[in-house]
Structure 1
Amino acid sequence: MERGLQTGAPSTPGAPGTSGAVASFVRFVIFGGGVGLASSAAVALLATFLPFTLANALITVVSTILATELHARFTFASGRRPDGRGLLRCGLRHHLQSAGTAAAAFAVTTLAMLVLYVFESAPPLAVEQAVYLSASALAGIGRFLALRLYVFATTRKQPTPVTLDLHRSPTRRELLTTAS
């Protein structure tokens, strides 16, 4: 059974609107961008030993797991704490859905690099990095939208609390509803 999110600290007061989206996007850029920049350096280093596509795939897997955990804990779960134990505290559903968005990002970055290699067979490292980071930024915006609107959406229905009026006897229907 998958574990959900528990309310830890009270969320920041105010209507969840643009300001919440902006703050979430800033956190997404900080955490996702930090992981993305580290990934860019790691891909460049690993690509000296392996084919670029394989290096990109390996770094994408590792960075996706790391970024999903960071986003679950800080970016999209403001005021909430994942209910899990161990190193990975994010649910399997979140990791699988995030992996889907990462697969799309992988396709975008790989396609961008393959197109670059069609036009220039041995581009300078700075050009490779510019193309890779530009494609990553485009894919990152798509990931933010998918993660915010679908994967880590917090608009799920909460159970309605049951209250009993002690001054009157509950009806049979109320007793059956409460018992189930």
Structure 2
Amino acid sequence: MDAAAAVRQTPTAGPGPFASFVRFVVCGGGVGVLSSAAVPLLALLMPWALSNAVITIASTILCTELHALFTFGTGKRAGWREHWQSAGSAAVAYAVTSTAVLVLHTVQSTPSLLTEQTVYLTASGLAGLGRFLVLRLFVFTTESRKPRPTTTAVRRQPAWFGTRTPAGALSQAA
């Protein structure tokens, strides 16, 4: 095997946890700012709820690709598994922030804008931290960066398997 082939098969270590988190905030925050501008513009052409759904789906797909290539340094684009898991973690984060604001409105019927934003941003920050952990530990793990074997290994049988008794019958171990 030449040196170039060895380099291609060596899994990338990827950035450390702190660098990944900074990249996660930059990518997610940047796409979030763009999304917040895109939703009202698209809402000029369609109902706001549909506009929000379209932009949410598009931004989740874009962020998943950015996280695969840049944030967690997998060296490859995200596959279907990563997209579905990322979408699931985004849905949970959406549910957390929505529930937090709903609980606030249950406790205070008319909270101030500052209170509402504080609750929303706190819930969003906690959900984002949870989402980062899920993506780093489960979706874009270092295991997914390891090269897959090209051949299947032959499973070796235990030494006692298939030994014959003096009568010629296979013995069975207890």
The TM-score range, normalised by the shorter chain, is: 0.5 to 0.7
Tell me the secondary structure at the aligned position of residue 77 of structure 1.
coil
1:63 alignment counterpart: 59
Query: 1:1-12 residue pairs with structure 2 within 5 A?
Result: 11=12
- Structure with higher Rg: it is 2
2:109 alignment counterpart: 120
Q: What is the CA–CA distance in structure 1 between the aligned matches of 2:129 and 2:35, rounded to whole Å?
A: 17
TM-score w.r.t. the length of structure 1 is 0.60
Count the aligned residue pairs.
Answer: 142
Taking structure 1 as reference, are residues 57 and 130 closer, same or farther at Cα in structure 2, changes over 3 Å only?
Answer: farther
1:122 Cα deviation (Å)?
Answer: 6.5
Q: What is the CA–CA distance in structure 1 between the aligned matches of 2:111 and 2:51, rounded to whole Å?
A: 17
1:135 Cα deviation (Å)?
Answer: 1.6
Q: Structure 2: any 5+ residue segments left out of the alignment? A: 1-7, 155-174
8 Å contact from structure 1 (residues 60, 106) kept in 2: no
- Would you say 1:107 and 2:95 are equivalent positions? yes
Large movers: runs of 4+ above 6 Å: 43-47
8 Å contact from structure 1 (residues 94, 151) kept in 2: yes
> Match for 2:109: what amino acid?
E
Q: What is the CA–CA distance in structure 1 between the aligned matches of 2:39 and 2:96, rounded to whole Å?
A: 15
> Match for 1:64: what amino acid?
T
Report Cα offsets for 1:45-69 as digits up to 9, x if no partner.
889x646xx7765543232112111
> Match for 1:154: what amino acid?
T
Q: What is the CA–CA distance in structure 2 between the aligned matches of 1:26 and 1:111, rounded to whole Å?
A: 27
Percent identity, aligned pairs only, is 55
- Would you say 1:144 and 2:127 are equivalent positions? no
2:24 alignment counterpart: 28
Q: What is the CA–CA distance in structure 1 between the aligned matches of 2:116 and 2:96, rounded to whole Å?
A: 14
Q: What is the CA–CA distance in structure 2 between the aligned matches of 1:108 and 1:73, rounded to whole Å?
A: 27
1:134 alignment counterpart: 122
1:8 Cα deviation (Å)?
Answer: 9.6
1:171 alignment counterpart: none
1:161 Cα deviation (Å)?
Answer: 8.3
- Would you say 1:76 and 2:62 are equivalent positions? no
RMSD of aligned C-alpha atoms?
A: 3.7
8 Å contact from structure 2 (residues 24, 67) kept in 1: yes
Q: What is the CA–CA distance in structure 1 between the aligned matches of 2:23 and 2:61, rounded to whole Å?
A: 17
> Match for 1:34: what amino acid?
G
TM-score w.r.t. the length of structure 2 is 0.62
Q: What is the CA–CA distance in structure 1 between the aligned matches of 2:82 and 2:103, rounded to whole Å?
A: 31
Q: What is the CA–CA distance in structure 2 between the aligned matches of 1:37 and 1:46, rounded to whole Å?
A: 15
Q: Structure 1: any 5+ residue segments left out of the alignment? A: 1-6, 83-88, 163-175
